[in-house]
Structure 1
C-alpha cells in the first residue's frame, strides 16, 4: 500500500527547514501502514504559520498513497469557510459530517480526510468524529481504523515561533528543537482557543490525536530554496540572481533580528514572477 520510501524521500527533498514534520510524518505513516489491522486510525494535526509546508505535506501523503495529490476519490478535503460557514448550524454540520465520513469509509477503508483551516472551524462540529478516531467498538466493523485524518491550522503558531526564536537567540541550531518541547504547548493552545475547531474538544481531552506536528517558521535560506525549486520547475535553475532577489524581497520578523519570513514561502511564486 503506497510508496513509503518515496514519501520519506519526498519529505526530505522538497520540504525545507522542517525536521520535526519530516521525522514525525514519515515515522507515523510508515508505522501505520505496516499494520495489517491497526487498532485505531492515524490522526495527525499540523500546526504552524502560513507558507511553512502544511498543505504541501498533506498533498505528498495523498500522492504517495494514491498516486495523485488531491484528485483521488479517496481523499476528502474540508474547508470550513466553504463547508461549515455558519456557526449557528453546528448540529446540521455534525450530522452531515458523520454521514459523509461513514459513507466514504464504507466505500474505501483507506480514505484520507483533510480538515483545513481548523482555526475557522465552528467549535463542536469535529467532536462528532470522536467514535471514528479512537479504538471504539461501536462503529461498524473494523475497517474505519485504516483511515487517515489530517487537521491543519495556524493555531499554536505563536508557541512554535517563540520556541524557534529563543533557540535562534540562544545560538542553537533549529534542529535541536524536539517534538516533546512543543507538543503539550500546542495541545493547550488549540484546546483553549475559543475560535478553534478544537475548542474544549473531547478529541484533545481523550488524546485521540496520534501526533501534533509543528511546522517551524522559515529563515531566508529556506525561502531561497523555495525560490530555487520554483525556478527549476520552470527550467530556470541557473538564475541565482532571482533566488537572491526573492530572498531579499520577503518580509522578515521580528523587527529586531529579522530571523523568519512572516509568510514562509507563500509569496515565493509571485515574487519569482516579478523578478524573472
Structure 2
C-alpha cells in the first residue's frame, strides 16, 4: 500500500492572496516543491460558506451584468469545443460523467449529441437549475461507486477538492480501462499569473486549495499509473481571468487593459505552452 502523501510538508513561502469574492480574508499560498504545485493555507473549516456569493457565476445562469453576458456567450463557444473533444474519443458505451457539473450545460450538450450523461454537483441551487434543463445531478461521487465511465470530465474542479490524493484514486477507479479523464485547471506558471501575482483571479483563495503546473498533474496522476496523453489550451481563460484580475488590482475591470494582458499571455504561451488554463487528457498506462 502506497504511503499517504502529506501535501503540507516542507512548504516554502510563495505569496499572500486575499479572498476578493466573499470574506476579504488573507491566505498564504505556499509551494510544495516535490509536486511543483502551490497550496492554500489554511483551509477554512466552513469552506462551503465561501461559495455563497452571487458573484460565484458557475452556480448560476446569471445574465445581469455585462460581465455575466460575456461569460455566458463565451461559455456557449467553449461548450462546442468541449463536445468536439468528447466526440474525438473512441468509446464503447458513450457513458460520460461530469464532476462538478454546475448548472448542467455541458451535460445537456452531450445528451443532445447521443451521450449517456451522469454528473455530480454539491451546490443544491445549481442542481435545481440543471434539473429544469432535464439533467439530474448527484451530490457526490459515492452514488457511482459501482459504475465505470468511458469519459470523466472535471472542468475547473480539481483545484477545489479537499482530499486530493483519495479523490484521484476514486476517479481512476471510476474510469474504464480504455477511458479518458479530462481535467481543466488554471496554470500558475502562465504569463497572466506571473503578471498579476497576488491579484491573479485564478488563485481564488480559499476556494482553490491547489494551484497546479503541468509537472503537478503528471506527477500526481503517475502515482495512480495514469499518464497525460495530450495537453490543450483554454485560450478564453486568459481574457476572463485578466478581466477579474484587473478589478482586484485597480478596483475596475479595465477591459482594454485586460484584453491586452490576455492576448499577451496567449501569445507568449504559443512558445512556452504555459497557457492561463490547460486541459489535460489522461489515460491509464
Q: TM-score range by the shorter chain?
A: 0.3 to 0.5
The structure carrying a bigger helix percent of its residues is: 1
